[in-house]
Amino acid sequence: MNTAQSNLRHLVYDPNLVVEMILDRLQRSVDELGRAAMAIPGGRSPGPVLSVLAGRMPDAVRKRLHLFWVDERAVPPGHKERNSSTTLGDWEEGGPLPEYIYPMPAETQDLESAAREYAGLLAEVTDGLPLDLCLLGVGEDGHIASLFPHHPGLLRDEPVIAVYDSPKPPPRRLTLSLQVISTAGLRIILAPGREKGIVFKEASKGPDPVLPVSLLPRYKTVWFVDQSLVV
């Protein structure tokens, strides 16, 4: 196995394998805390995983699952570009939705107020504890959530951050902070495909603000990548 790559825990991308890991973590949280709190991304990557997860999730977990998002675009609810619209649609293709769902209020004109509101909700639901799990996609530029290369938000420690200058449209967004994502009980990064494989190789070299995903702790972070990268 390549020494650099072996420093990052990585497995072959398969939605069923991803779901097994997710369900194991959520079940342990339900057993220990009586509830589970999970944040999910937007984009294309999580769709197959969320559909399989919905179909395989035990009812006892579904009724105790609190679902958050890692980021959201400042577009109206129901808009085709809204992360929650896409991901909830993918989830419902596989099975019933979780009992508790908390979309980010990114449609609000006052994003700073919306960020504080979501941070308060997150703290209330989790009793101030870290999220049990963050499911993450990764961009070809190495961004996670709406934390982009060299963005000032990477250095901020508020739980939820208002973004006004995203390099990808739309510019206005809400995002969980790097600190909140980094302290989650488990981080799963979906990185199938050649381009995401390049990001994985670059992240293996060590932390670099040019590549936000590389700033995540390696402990309790698992990448799911193409077979060619798992030797």
Dump pLDDT digits (tens) for 89-143.
Answer: 999 999 999 999 999 999 999 999 999 999 999 999 999 999 999 999 999 999 9
Q: Are 124 and 115 contacting, i.e. CB atoms less than 8 angstroms apart?
A: no
**Predicted TM-score of the model (pTM):** 0.94
> What does the longest C-alpha to C-alpha distance in the chain come to?
50
Strand-pair partners of 12? 225
Q: How many domains is the chain built from?
A: 1
Per the structure, the complete domain to which residue 173 belongs is given by 3-226
Report if residue 143 sits inside a domain: yes
Report if residue 10 sits inside a domain: yes
Report if residue 199 sits inside a domain: yes
Q: How confident is the model at residue 2 (pLDDT cuts 50, 70, 90)?
A: very low
What pLDDT is stored for residue 45 in this prediction? 85
What pLDDT is stored for residue 146 in this prediction? 96
Q: What is the mean pLDDT of residues 1-10?
A: 61
Kindly list the distances between the CA atom of residue 128 and the CA atoms of 2, 3, 77, 122, 203, in Å, as whole numbers in the listed order.
39, 37, 27, 8, 30
Report if residue 219 sits inside a domain: yes
CATH of residue 36's domain is: 3.40.50.1360
What pLDDT is stored for residue 231 in this prediction? 62
Structure tokens at 40: 């999910």
Q: How confident is the model at residue 219 (pLDDT cuts 50, 70, 90)?
A: very high
Report if residue 78 sits inside a domain: yes
Report if residue 159 sits inside a domain: yes
Report if residue 231 sits inside a domain: no
Question: Whole-number mean pLDDT of the chain?
Answer: 94
